Amino acid sequence: MKSGFSCYDALDSIRSAEHFMLLETQKPTRDTLSEHVLLLREFVRYPFRTAALAPSSRHLAERMASAVPLGSADNVVELGPGTGALTSALLPRLHEQARFMAVELNPVFAERWRSQFPGQVLEVGSVANLRQLCGRQNMSSIDCIVSGLPWPTFPVSLQEAALEEVLSLLKPGGQMVTFGYHLGMLLPSGRHFFRLINRRFRRVERLAWEWRNLPPAYVLRCTR
């Protein structure tokens, strides 16, 4: 007889929920099962900075990628790519001369990401040092930032420091797109993040919810 609720049970639940939400109507091209296992494992190790039990669905990834004008962007940065769920939707939209780099804090995710996207650039480090990390790749004037960061679970000091870095790199008119979950909006630090972006960006738009994600997520587009 089974005793307790193991990681495997949790994984099974995630996968059944995905089926229920019709997340697998297309054959996955990536090894999504091992991505789930890896993300879940890193969530257990670092719950606040991973802040997700499963990688973003391809529906959310498509919604994020289509929220910003990637096709005309020369410099694009992805923050917190994790196992690469969003990256897969971003790269095909970039023009041939576009420059792309990702910044990931967790070296375990970084290693996995690099094996998934050979030839693409990823710097290991914190978004709090974004200018320095972009400087290493001679990237300074960014058109689009696609963020998978768990902003609401960041301490307020990190939210503020990271947002300063983002704003100093984005071109005037440049955009950052990010996503969040309902729970994050209820946290005091989540509410602080909303106030902060509303104060610091020229325009903040909350786009439609993506229900075909675990959990459902909203997308925010912030224009400098």
Ligand X SMILES: C[S@@+](CC[C@H](N)C(=O)[O-])C[C@H]1O[C@@H](n2cnc3c(N)ncnc32)[C@H](O)[C@@H]1O
- 72 burial (CB, 10 Å; 0-12 / 13-18 / 19+) is exposed
Residue of 11, 21, 37, 105 interacting with ligand X (CB under 6 A): 105
The verdict on 80 binding ligand X (CB under 6 A) reads yes
Q: Which residue has the tokens 């498509």?
A: 62
Least Å distance, CB 217 to ligand X, is 9
Contact positions with ligand X (CB under 6 A) in 34-53: 49-52
Question: Considering beta carbons, is residue 75 or 106 the nearer one to ligand X?
Answer: 106
Using CB under 6 A, which residues numbered 122 to 181 contact ligand X? 126-127, 148-150
Q: Does 219 bind ligand X (CB under 6 A)?
A: no
CB of 150 to ligand X, least distance (A): 5
Relative orientation angle of helices 188-200 and 156-169, to the nearest 10 degrees? 20
| DSSP E strand boundaries for 31-169 | 75-79, 99-104, 121-124, 142-147
**Nearer to ligand X (CB atom), residue 47 or residue 173:** 47
109 near ligand X, rule: CB under 6 A: yes
Max Cα distance, the chain (Å): 61
Cβ proximity to ligand X: between 127 and 134 the closer is: 127
Residue closer to ligand X by CB (options 98, 130) is: 130
Report in angstroms how near the CB of residue 152 gets to ligand X at its nearest: 10
Contact indicator for 190, 218 with CB cutoff of 8 Å: no
Using only the alpha carbons of the chain, give its radius of gyration.
17
Is 121 a residue that touches ligand X (CB under 6 A)?
no
Sign of torsion over alpha carbons 69, 97, 89, 50: negative
CB of 19 to ligand X, least distance (A): 18
Neighbours of 61 (CB within 10 A): 23
Query: 173: which 2 tokens?
Result: 């008119």
Q: In the complex, which residues of this chain contact ligand X (CB under 6 A)? A: 49-52, 55-56, 79-82, 85-86, 103-106, 109, 126-127, 148-150
